[in-house]
Amino acid sequence: MTAGPEGLPQTPPALSAEEAAALAKRHGLPSLGGRPPFGDYVGSLWGQRSFIWTLSTAQTVARNSSDRLGMLWTVLNPLLLIGSYYLVFGLLVPTTKGTTNFIAFLAIGVVIFGYMASSITRGSKSIVNNIGLVRALRFPRAVLPVAETLTQVVTVLPAIAVLMVVVIVTGEPVRWHWLLLPVALAMQTAILGGMVLIAARLVNISRDMTNLIPVAIRVLRYVSGVFFSIEAYAARFDPFVGDVLMIQPFALPIALVRQCLLEEAPIQWIQWAAGLGWAVVLPAFGLWFFWRDEAKYGRA
Amino acid sequence: MAAPDTPAGGRTSPVPERRPAAIVSHLDIIYRVVGGKRSNTSAIGDDEGESIFRNLIGRGKTVATVQSVHAVKDVSFVAYHGESVGIIGRNGSGKSTLLRAVAGLLPPTNGEVFLAGTPALLGVNAVLMSALSGERNIYIGGQALGLTKAQVKERFEEIVAFSGIGDAVYRPMSTYSSGMAARLRFAISTAAVPDVLMIDEALSTGDAEFRKRSGEKVDEIREKASTVFLVSHSNSTVRDLCDRVLWMHHGRLIADGPTEAILTAYEGWDPKKHPAGPPGIG
């Protein structure tokens, strides 16, 4: 490029792509286009744990500030939901086969599945809803879905308290099995973290996905034993289908919590092992899957 | 390849020891815009029903809902440590897009960006979390820039004092005026002394007194061997703060050189007299 007619100073000629890369290499400048190696990524995510916590508490505060009744809804909502499900599946079209304490059985299904549904619905939008943050600052993007998962943990705690009240009121005895409840919830949260990471990337690729997620959740709500015992109805299916229905990662956490809290549901350690498997495999796969697009989050 | 530091042109290279802070090589940015579409005149009116039908079956053919915008075209430059680079150009010339890409916030469609250290981008439109108080945003922004929570706490008073927004820091950011929000963002972005500071018009929203203070802050950051990029429509801000200017026009980098020379040419260019474009692009 030569000097312009109006005395524009000469622009330094562009380096070729190879020259630029060599110059960057000599001075140790990393390329922005690529994503960091997966190991480094996991490390940097761990390094951001305090930031994750800051974001998560901030989100919790922001959400509860908009409703006048605020935190009260986190208690009222599960109660209303349990009530309406009981009306339909307890009284109108009973699906109580194979259960003795149906109200507690149903309450566990509603609360635990509700936790999964809201985690995935909210978590899938954790990138697109925070696009301002993504475009203004550079940080490992997985921070956002992980923070959203944590936010959901905090939000579900009042519902768990409601659940405990329902369980006690309906006459379940206090047993040592209750101590397993935090373990079951921790495994469920890990599973959800993995799913949220997967969903967040999918929604970032195509926002149309946000329309499919409610459909998927509705289908899962009906097949995951929220309001009926899969075991009691398993005879209707091919044994393979029955097994799949029982150990799929949406049904399994519900079954595990029932084993903790209901006397009628004996502990099945094989299911706990399967839960642990999901709790390891899904977050690991989810993080890897999310990391694949690390450089692409925030693109308009 | 023998001496990549030395431009192949007639000019002698700057001192070869200068350490590059940002290397931009043949950068292209193409936005994919979903939803926006050029309304097809024949599709409006009588045969609207047909157009909806056509839209459903022949998506992207008749009435496209996905457009691509070539915002940055083959831009290359090298910026050095301690340099303050202004980016000028008319509205829509790709300045802000270029800045975002250099900050690593927009992935390049083609080409490559190399950057030393962590960038911080400060845009007028950069929303942190508007439903939350300024206080929480300081913690979020500070930690995203790599400070620890304790460090943010330590600098909290300083950040608030610099922004000059006082007790408003405890109110949600959605209640701020644009000037207040810009000041707070500037204070947050500069709290950590970023390796590369990118400023997108943010300074123009502050009042005169804040502009003076932010100018001092920019100088301070440059002295710490960081690099500053500034996108601004205010030529006086660019003159005050920058020693080098990149002139963008229709997504192309048409001039790159010392501030005064480029700005003089920029100010002298009248789009009405030279509708084909400014000098230098043929």
What is the ipTM, given to two decimal places?
Answer: 0.75
Tokens 């502050």 found at: B206
Question: Residue B44: pLDDT band by 50, 70, 90 thresholds?
Answer: very low
At B48, the pLDDT band (50, 70, 90 cuts) reads very low
Question: Could you report how far apart the first and last alpha carbons of chain B are, in Å?
Answer: 29
Q: For residue B32, is it left (φ>0), alpha (ψ between -120 and 50) or beta? A: beta
pLDDT in tens, B117-176: 777 776 555 557 778 889 998 998 888 888 889 999 999 999 999 888 889 999 988 888
Using the 8-state DSSP alphabet, how is residue B270 labeled? -
* One-character DSSP codes across B61-124: TSS-SEEEEEEEEEEEEEEETT-EEEEE-STTSSHHHHHHHHTTSS--SEEEEEESS-EEEEES
For A15-58, what is each residue's pLDDT tens digit?
888 888 888 888 888 887 667 889 999 998 998 899 999 999 88
Report the residue of A6, A19, A57 to disrupt the B interface, i.e. the one with the largest count of B CBs within 10 Å.
A19
Tokens describing residue B240: 């005050």
- Given B31, B120, B256, which is nearest A137 (Cβ)? B120
Percent of chain A with pLDDT over 90: 56
Q: What is the per-residue pLDDT for B62?
A: 45
CB contact under 8 A, B140 and A13: no
Task: Give the residue-averaged pLDDT of B202-221.
Answer: 78
Residue A67 structure tokens: 């409703």
Record: contact B112-A31, CB cut-off 8 A: yes
Are B20 and A23 inside 8 Å of each other by CB?
yes
Q: What is the CA radius of gyration of chain B?
A: 22
The full set of domain ranges for chain B reads 82-268
Name the more confident of A84 and A10.
A84
DSSP state, B254? Answer: E
Most B CBs within 10 A among A1, A6, A11, hence the mutation to make, goes to A11
**Residue A1 binned pLDDT confidence (cut-offs 50, 70, 90):** very low
Count, residues in chain A: 300
Q: Is A207 on the interface with B (CB under 8 A)?
A: yes
Residue A137: DSSP 8-state: B
Identify the sign of the CA torsion A11, B23, B30, B33: negative
Q: Contacts of residue A31 in chain B, CB cutoff 8 Å? A: 112-114
pLDDT in tens, B24-43: 999 998 877 766 555 554 44
Q: Are B109 and B30 in contact (CB under 8 A)?
A: yes
pLDDT tens-place string over residues B56-72: 554 444 455 777 888 89
SS3 B179: helix
Q: ∠ CA(A272), CA(A278), CA(A280), 5° rounding?
A: 105
Q: Do B9 and A10 touch (CB under 8 A)?
A: yes
Q: Token match 């000469």: residue?
A: A10
CB B71 within 8 A of CB B29: yes
Name chain A contacts of B31, Cβ cutoff 8 Å: 299-300
Q: What does each C-alpha distance from A10 to A56, A257, B238, B249 come to in angstroms?
A: 51, 72, 20, 16
Which residue in the set A4, A29, A298 is minimally distant from B265, CB to CB? A4
CA distance readout (Å), B248 to B86, B94, B95, B198, B251: 11, 7, 6, 16, 6
Q: Flag if B120 and A5 touch (Cβ within 8 Å).
A: no
* Beta carbon pairs, A and B, within 8 Å: 190
**Predicted local distance difference test score (pLDDT) of residue A230:** 87
pLDDT given for residue A276 in this prediction: 96
Averaged pLDDT score across all residues of chain A: 88
The per-residue pLDDT for range B232-264, each reduced to its tens digit, is 888 888 888 899 999 999 999 988 999 999 998
- What radius of gyration do chain A's Cα atoms show? 24
Q: Which residues lie closer than 8 Å to A218 by C-beta, 6 or more apart?
A: none
Select from B129, B148, B127, B231 the least CA-distant residue to B191. Answer: B148
Q: Give me the pLDDT at residue B2, please.
A: 41
Residue among A24, A66, A138 whose CB faces B104 most closely: A138
Q: What is the pLDDT of residue A45?
A: 92
Vertex A258, ends A255 and A260: CA angle to 5°?
115
Q: What is the mean pLDDT of chain B?
A: 77
> B-chain residues within 8 Å CB-CB of A29?
20-23, 114-116
Return the residue of B nearest to A206 by Cα. Answer: B34
- The answer to whether the Cβ–Cβ distance between B141 and A137 falls below 8 Å is yes
SS3 (DSSP) at A236 = helix
| Spatial distance between the Cα atoms of B25 and B235, rounded to a whole number of angstroms | 27
DSSP annotation of B172 reads: B
Q: Which of B197, B196, B191, B193 is nearest to B152 (CA)?
A: B191
Question: CB–CB of B279 and A18 under 8 A?
Answer: no
Tell me the residues of chain A between 125 and 184 that have a Cβ less than 8 Å away from chain B. 130, 132-139
Report which DSSP code applies to B252. Answer: E
Measured between beta carbons, which residues in chain A are less than 8 angstroms from residue B125? 132
The DSSP bridge partners found for residue B32 are B68
Of B5, B31, B139, the CB nearest to A300: B31
Cβ-defined contact of B144 to A31 (cutoff 8 Å): no
| Helix, strand or coil, per DSSP, at residue A251 | helix
* B82-268 fold: Rossmann fold (3.40.50)
Q: Let me know: does A108 contact A254? Beta carbons within 8 Å.
A: yes
Taking an 8 Å cut-off on Cβ atoms, the answer to whether B116 and A27 are in contact is yes
pLDDT for the residue B57:
54
Question: Are A286 and A193 spatial neighbours (Cβ–Cβ below 8 Å)?
Answer: yes
Residues of B in contact with A9 (CB under 8 A): 255, 257-258, 261-262
Task: Return the H-helix or E-strand segment holding A179.
Answer: none
Q: Quick one: pLDDT band at residue B222, thresholds 50, 70, 90?
A: confident
Q: What are A96-134's pLDDT values in tens digits? A: 888 889 999 999 999 999 999 999 999 999 998 888 788
- The predicted structure's pLDDT at residue A278: 97
Which segment, A212-216, B98-102, B163-167, B269-273, is predicted with the most confidence on average? A212-216
Distance separating alpha carbons of residues A130 and A144, to the nearest angstrom = 8
Between CA A111 and CA B85 the distance in angstroms is: 56
**A99 contacts: CB under 8 Å, gap ≥ 6:** A105, A229, A232, A264
Q: Check: CB of residue A224 under 8 Å from CB of residue A251.
A: yes
Cα–Cα distance between A23 and B23 in angstroms, integer? 8
| pLDDT tens, position by position, A217-275 | 999 999 998 998 888 887 787 888 888 888 899 999 999 999 999 999 899 999 999 99
DSSP B15: P
